[in-house]
A and B are shown apart, each in its own frame.
Chain A
């Protein structure tokens, strides 16, 4: 039994849901992914509760500090250890099964420990008062410490946690994925379904690995310099090039924006790989691999410079030319999305679909992802950006992209769950999860966009102005529905039933 398997089994409540099936001989591609997936749902529970605390503090008119603490902790928990870790877990399981190589050794262990210890440190810092929101808002951490709002110790602990998380996302995970794809010996006993880089189901994985590595390197350099200064290893003056707010903000968003694009590439790739397995006529092929790959390449190439739309309202410090470039490229991503839409619909139209909960969840997640894409394109237009930037529109966009991706990954996980655990899920509960998630996700997204359209500020502890509390009630309502969907999803894992058929059949059906 591996360390990862033992850790899963030792975890109360969640351990029962994700205990690894050791009878299939696939433990080497299942154990670390199962541990990461389990940990992501533990963080989801934390993030979900904090997400409900935010509107609750406003509606009950509680201390505004609690709102900002919940805001920061919710964002940090949801984005990195929850959604990103879920993606890593399911993605590594998929990749291992596609290339026939084990997910073992130092890399998966470091990925797991760095991501979770880093997130825990950041949470501790937030509980010590470091309310800096998901995007750090540099130089707010330093200014807040200088003003005595939080301690410099909290900043050092928080930045140490962020450094571990960034190391995972920018270095460890992409390097491991690249190593897995291009190096090492292939083992037939671990290969569930062979895929090459011509396959859209694999191409997106490797494109996203390179995107994370390239777009994250500048932030690693700048953040490392700041951290060395915070530790007192080098004087602050020596890293003044890195502590300039404009430098930090730009390198932060070069990475943060492309992180979302990389996650999109990866999850669309996973949907491209999963959809053919549910075609009614057993074709197991997309309408066109060429068009699917073209969509991924368009998304990659157009998204590289779209991060500039985060700074449209900084005009003229960010020249108008770069703002127009951001608008054009942001709308260019829509062309990639249009190709993806066509590929998915043409595939279903040609071959029919077996409507099982996993694939329907992935497709609803895709609809939500398109809704989010439309809202992102609109707010990237220079005219609209000046009226929407800093409002709940942006929060709606961020929340929706994370919810959409988590739904797509949860749909893909629904498919892979039997081969990881050797247990099958209840389709009735699966269908209820899909229904609740669709209503909660789409409802919350539209309400937050509408709140932004009405001018309601984001990250703002006074919703009791201008009638904005109305949106607060609706956000809480749809948030509760989303929470119920997650509970049903996890309850399904709790109630899963041992599969009695042979291990070989399980592996074949998962492939």
Chain B
């Protein structure tokens, strides 16, 4: 379930999870106290204060739980683990220029971590990798003028053709700035 939660669609459902109960309660309270019975309620202030404590506790616990659960899925942490483990990495260097990429290796081995290191030669660009089924796996922001490349480690588990797109608006041909990576399965 967590694997689904920390995807693009998982983010959408998480937003709905926070929104729908709030919107339902909000609508119910406003409707009840304006249309059904707008008279002052007899609810003691102390009871509302207690409810406030419960509400804030629930909100706090949900916020903390979601963010703690997300740690496993943070590319920053995966990158740190890969660096610390000393395991061999496939290295892909790339340079973005309006409106194309220079990519050092376009064929990648499935199941083996890859370090993507990218730079921009002119303006802001992105380097987003899409799964063959259309969902986005990750994106990197490439800013010109920086000494060090933007860099993350990612492991592709399934072979296929992965699309690359620029997701930082870079001018009138931005939508044509695309490329492909091929992930292959090699027998050991």
**Counting chain B CB atoms within 10 Å of each CB, which of A339, A353, A390 scores highest?**
A390
Residues of B near A10 (CB, < 8 A) are none
Q: How far is the CA of A450 from the CA of B39 in the complex (A)?
A: 40
User: Of A246, A328, A454, which is within 8 A of B143 by CB?
Assistant: A246
Contact of A341 among B7, B22, B146 (CB under 8 A): B22
Q: B188 at interface (Cβ–Cβ under 8 A)?
A: no
Q: Is the CB of A139 within 8 A of B11?
A: no
Q: A258 near B: Cβ within 8 Å? A: no
State whether A317 touches B150 (Cβ < 8 A): yes
| A233 vs B106: C-alpha distance when bound (angstroms) | 47
Q: Which residues of A contact B81 (CB under 8 A)?
A: none
| Residues in A whose Cβ lies below 8 Å from that of B66 | 381
Q: Which of A23-31, A96-104, A142-150 contacts B (4 or more CB under 8 A)?
A: A142-150
Contact B141 A338 (CB under 8 A): no
User: How many residue pairs bridge A and B at CB < 8 Å?
Assistant: 245
Judge if B113 is at the interface, Cβ distance under 8 Å. no
Which A443-484 residues have C-beta < 8 A from chain B? Answer: 449-450, 452-455, 457-462, 466-467
Residues of the A chain whose Cβ atoms lie less than 8 Å from the Cβ of B51: 342, 346
Contact B70 A455 (CB under 8 A): no
Which of the candidate stretches A107-115, A188-196, A308-316 sits at the interface with the other chain?
A308-316
Interface residue tally for chain A (C-beta within 8 Å): 84
Contact between B136 and A391, CB atoms less than 8 A apart: yes
Contacting A at CB under 8 A, from B130-144, are: 130, 134-141, 143-144
Determine the chain B residues whose CB is within 8 A of the CB of A459 once the complex forms.
Answer: 169, 174
Would you give the 0/1 interface string for B7-20, flagging 1 where the beta carbon is closer than 8 Å to chain A?
11111101100110
Contact A387 B137 (CB under 8 A): yes
- Write out the residue numbers on chain B whose beta carbons fall within 8 Å of the beta carbon of A341: 22, 26
The distance in angstroms between the C-alpha atoms of A291 and B23, with both chains bound, is: 21
| Interface pair B171/A327, CB less than 8 Å apart | no
Is B56 an interface residue, CB under 8 A from the partner?
yes
Evaluate contact between B138 and A386: CB separation under 8 angstroms. yes
**Assembled-state Cα–Cα distance A416/B70 (Å):** 46
Structural contact, A246 and B30, CB atoms closer than 8 A: no
What's the minimum C-beta distance from B114 to chain A, rounded to whole angstroms?
15
Residues of B within 8 A of A363 (CB): 26, 30
Tell me whether B146 and A246 are in contact (CB under 8 A). yes
Residues of A near B145 (CB, < 8 A) are: 244-246
Is A498 an interface residue when CB atoms closer than 8 A count as contact? no
A346/B136 in contact, CB under 8 A: no
Contacts of A370 in B (CB 8 A): 19, 22
Which residue in A244, A355, A382 is a CB contact (below 8 Å) of B35? A355
* Contact yes or no, A390 B150, CB < 8 A: no
Q: Which of A327, A342, A379 contacts B52 (CB 8 A)?
A: A342
Say yes or no: A389 contacts B139, CB within 8 Å: yes
Chain A 56-78: CB-based contact to B (< 8 A → 1; otherwise 0): 00000000110010000000000
**Closest B residue, CB atoms, query A387:** B8
Tell me whether A149 and B172 are in contact (CB under 8 A): yes
Cβ of A334 < 8 Å from any Cβ of B?
Answer: yes
Kindly state the separation between the CA atoms of A149 and B9 in the bound complex, as whole angstroms.
37
In whole angstroms, how far apart are the Cα atoms of A393 and B130 in the complex? 16
**Which residues of the partner chain A approach B143 to less than 8 Å between Cβ atoms?**
245-246, 249, 314, 317
Q: Are A147 and B98 in contact (CB under 8 A)?
A: yes
What secondary structure prevails in chain A residues at the interface with B?
helix
- Docked-complex contact A137 and B70, CB < 8 angstroms: no
Contact A454 B25 (CB under 8 A): no
Name which residue of chain B comes closest to A389, CB basis.
Answer: B139
Any A CB within 8 A of the CB of B87: no
Nearest A residue to B60 via CB reads A335
Is B172 touching A131 in the complex (CB atoms < 8 A)? yes
CB atoms of A450 and B167 under 8 A apart: no
- The complex places the Cα of A461 from the Cα of B136 at a distance, in Å, of 18
CA distance A460 to B128 in the complex (A): 13
A315-B83 Cα distance, complex, nearest whole Å: 14
Contact, CB under 8 Å: B63 / A331: yes
- Among the listed A287, A315, A455, which residue makes an inter-chain contact with B152, where contact means beta carbons less than 8 Å apart? A315
B174 touching A352, Cβ below 8 Å: no
- Chain B residue nearest to A68 (CB atoms) is B172
Least Cβ–Cβ distance between A197 and chain B, in angstroms: 24
Contact B38 A352 (CB under 8 A): yes
A94→B55 CA distance, assembly (Å): 32
Expressed in whole angstroms, the Cα–Cα distance for A360 and B22 within the complex equals 16
Please pick, from A244, A280, A453, the residue contacting B34 in the complex, using a CB distance under 8 A: A280
**In the complex, what distance in Å separates the CA atom of A26 from the CA atom of B137?**
58
Name B139's contact: one of A138, A140, A313, A327 (CB within 8 Å).
Answer: A313
Known interface pairs A316-B79, A457-B167; 14 further A-B residue pairs with C-beta atoms within 8 A, sorted by A's residue number: A64-B175, A140-B124, A143-B171, A245-B124, A280-B40, A291-B52, A315-B152, A317-B146, A339-B56, A370-B19, A381-B67, A382-B75, A388-B11, A457-B128
30 A-B residue pairs with CB within 8 Å: A131-B172, A281-B39, A311-B141, A314-B150, A315-B151, A317-B150, A320-B80, A323-B76, A327-B67, A342-B52, A346-B48, A348-B29, A348-B33, A349-B29, A349-B43, A353-B33, A354-B38, A360-B30, A370-B22, A375-B15, A381-B67, A384-B10, A386-B152, A389-B139, A389-B167, A449-B15, A453-B12, A454-B134, A462-B176, A467-B134
The chain A residues found within 8 Å of chain B, CB to CB, are: 64-65, 68, 131, 133, 137-140, 143-144, 147, 149, 244-246, 249, 280-281, 283, 287, 291, 311, 313-317, 320, 323, 327-328, 331, 334-335, 338-339, 341-342, 345-346, 348-355, 360, 363, 367, 370-371, 374-375, 377-379, 381-384, 386-391, 393, 449-450, 452-455, 457-462, 466-467
* Top 10 A-B residue pairs of the complex, sorted by shortest distance between their CB atoms: A390-B167, A352-B38, A280-B38, A455-B136, A459-B169, A355-B34, A383-B73, A453-B12, A462-B175, A353-B34
